[in-house]
Structures are given as structure tokens and as C-alpha cells.
Amino acid sequence: MLGFSWFGCSGRDGKLAVTEPSAAVETVTVPSENAAQLVKLGANGAASSSTSGVPLASPSPSPSPSPSWSSLPVAVAVAVAAPTLVLPDDGPIRAIDMHVDTPWRVHFKGRSKTANEGPATPKKLRDGHYAAVVYPIYLPDYIHDDHPAISDADAVFATIDALVAAQDLLVPPTGEVPADKIAVFVSIEGAGAFADDITQIDRFIKRGAKLIGPVHAHDNRLAGAATGKSGGGLTELGKQFCERIYAAGGLVDVSHLSDAGFAELQPIAKKFGAPIVATHSNARAKKQHPRNLTDEQLRVIAETGGVAGLNLYRGFLGSDKLQAVVEMAMHMVNVAGVDHVGLGTDFEGGAATAALKDASRLPVLAKALQKAGMSDADVRKIFAKNVVRVLAWQPNR
């Protein structure tokens, strides 16, 4: 069922043949605007130059099949969302991209672990001035005859570890990330397998899977999908799952969630003071598509201190022109505010808009946004700093 789609995040959903190849909430703070070159993710959503990350929970053994993460002391591994990233206030604008599907290409589509092909190779990330990338543990709905298993998530996590180990440019998201390296964060896209045992999500979050999307293209045992048939929201188990994610220090990714599910998530997120995050979704007002967000949803995301990631997939933009990307970004900023828009390109998931066909082209987008009237500081927020803020979120304890 792989290979093409029109309504998932990408060409992996088995649908149509359009080749598309996911704090403190009240106080929205961003990295200081002074000359500090290093921004460390701190607790409670604030990005500061001095705060250390707070371990999410007591260390406990977990399967760690890879050399990169498993070689870390456990105390570090549980705080993987606390790197020091180089995010200068001048010079090249660095990017943090909330959705790049390289692990899918490697794990399911036979690409080499060096990942030296495609639109988001590590070299192209470097040329696009990436500071960090979020690699999803994407679990295809039909990976087996029925549904994915939690062991599949472990296997993809191992692939991500191997990817990082095989590439000098990529580093785990711990410690001080050198300016010429790219930190790799982990998310889960389509976490329906965890309906088998929602407690298993804890160990994934402890290992650094921060952003968890309960559902992908099809309804599952946790939630209705944005592109699902039922129109249903979160199931009772799905609500418990989301609570568990927040309690463990993770964040729910609403990018593939149905509108009903989005609405039902709001009180749960509020209970935990958590920002609502859509890692890779555009605005429905500019391109009608169930995978895009309504203006009301964009405003809710802003109210929670969250972020919506600008998606470069042409099907969610409606055009191959750079101007369409700029107009989409401007609309999202106008509705949600400049502190609540980020990047979630969907590179490697499918065909990005021709104007920004690979990761090395991101500086072209930065320039275009500036040309459209956005300040340099605001572009830096959208490219990285807003995402830094949400990645640093921890539940109040």
C-alpha cells in the first residue's frame, strides 16, 4: 500500500497518484534577542541560555538497539530534548524542521542508511542551514495485515539510531550541538500500535520521542483521522493515551487528527498546560484540505503557546509557486501570530513544491519571507525559535 497518496502527509498512504512523496503555555517566550549564540532548551517551555533540561522521569532501562542513543548515559537519554543549539541572531538563518520522512525511506523503501539521496540528504540539510530535524517513527497503517505493532516502532527507532550513527553531520539531540552539525529529534506518526499497551509510550518519550501523533491517514483504535472515514474524534483509549503523553513530557501532534479529535484534545492539553502542536499542516483557508488547519484551530494552537509547521507538500499548498508558500506562511502568521508558526516541510514524504524542491533551498524561503515584509527576527522565529520553545515544554510537577 505504499507509494502514492493525496491525503496523508505524503505519498505513503496508498491513495491517489499525486506524488506527495507532523512550556509554559501561557507565557510564550522565545530565545533572548541579545547576542547569545547558543540557545539551550530549558524546562517549562522557556528557551534560555542557561536553563538545563529536566529529566522527564526516573531513569529506567529501555531497549536501545542503536549505538548512538544507547551509548548515552541513561540520565542523558531521558533528557534528550535538551540540547544546546546554535541559533544566532544574525548570519545564516538556521532551521528546525518538524517533519522530514527520511526514516521511512530507509526503513521501508530500501534507501541506504547513509541517506545520501533524495531531497533532504544530510548535506542538503547542512546547505539549508538546518540546526535540527525531527525524524518521525512513521508506522504505515497497513504495515501488516491488520495494524502496526509496538515492535515496529522499536524497529524504526533503531533505524533512526543507525542513520545518525552512519552520518557525521547528524548528532543525537543532546549536549552542545556544533554549528556544523544537525541535531536529530524523534517523533511518532501514527501511534495506533500503542493501543495494544498505552503504557509503552513512556519509554519512547524517555528516549526522546517528543511529538506523538496518535493517528495517520486512517482511523485507528486511538482516534479518527483528518482523512478518515468515521469523522470520529479521540476514542476513550485515545484520550487516555494523550493524557499519558503529556504526563510523560511528550506532546500530542494533531497534524493527522480529525477536527473532532482536535476539539477533544483541547481540554486535555489545557489540563497539562501543554502547547498544541501540528508538526506539518497548513491553513485550510488558503488551501481546502482536511489535512490543513482551520483558522479557528490555528488560533487555538496560538492560545496554548503551540506551533503549526508550514508544510511544503504541493498538495497542501495548491500551487508549485514560491509565492504560494509565502502567502500560506503569511496567512498562518496573520491568524496565529508570528510566535506560533514553524516549519514542517514533509521532505522525503513526497513531492515538495517545485520552488523549494529540496532542503538546501530553505534560504530561498527565508529571503522570500523577508521580501514580503517579514523582519529578520520574525523569520528566525518561524525557522527555529518557536519550535525550540515547544520542544522544551515539560509538564508542571
**Contact residues for Zn ion, defined by CB under 5 A:** 9
**Min dist. Cβ of residue 270 to Zn ion (A):** 25
Handedness of CA 357, 360, 362, 366 (dihedral sign): negative
Q: Which of 204, 208, 207, 182 is nearest to 193 (CA)?
A: 204
User: Least Å distance between CB 227 and Zn ion?
Assistant: 10
Nearer to Zn ion by C-beta: 141 or 202?
Answer: 141
Closest distance of CB 291 from Zn ion, Å: 8
Give least dist CB 264 to Zn ion, A.
20
Instruction: Give the C-alpha separation, 324 to 327, whole Å.
Output: 5
Shortest distance (Å) from residue 271 CB to Zn ion: 26
The pairing of strands 307-310 and 209-213 is unpaired
Of the two residues 7 and 393, which places its CB atom closer to Zn ion in the complex?
7
Comparison of 9 and 325: residue with beta carbon closer to Zn ion: 9
Q: Tell me whether residue 253 or residue 303 sits nearer to Zn ion (CB atom).
A: 253
Evaluate the CA torsion angle 251, 252, 254, 255 in order and state its sign. Answer: positive
Q: How far apart are CA 379 and CA 373, in angstroms?
A: 10
Q: At what angle do helices 322-336 and 362-371 cross, to 10 degrees?
A: 60
- Give the residue with the Cβ less far from Zn ion, 9 or 245: 9
Neighbours of 295 (CB within 10 A): 16
Tell me the backbone φ, ψ of residue 39, rounded to 5 degrees: -125, 120
Helices (H), 169-294: 201-206, 236-247, 259-272
The radius of gyration computed from the CA coordinates of the chain, to the nearest angstrom, equals 18
Q: What is the separation of C-alpha 230 from the centre of its chain, rounded to a whole number of angstroms?
A: 25
Closest distance of CB 253 from Zn ion, Å: 9
Of residues 247 and 251, the one with the C-beta less far from Zn ion: 251
Is the Cβ of residue 211 or residue 391 nearer to Zn ion in the bound state? 211
**b/e string for 124-145 if b means 16 or more Cβ within 10 A?**
bbbebbbbbbbbbbbbbbebee
Q: Based on CB atoms, which residue is closest to Zn ion, 9 or 234?
A: 9
- For residue 190, the minimal CB distance to Zn ion (Å) is 8
Short-list 65, 178, 169, CA closest to 114: 169
Grid look-up 530553505 returns 362
CB of 7 to Zn ion, least distance (A): 10
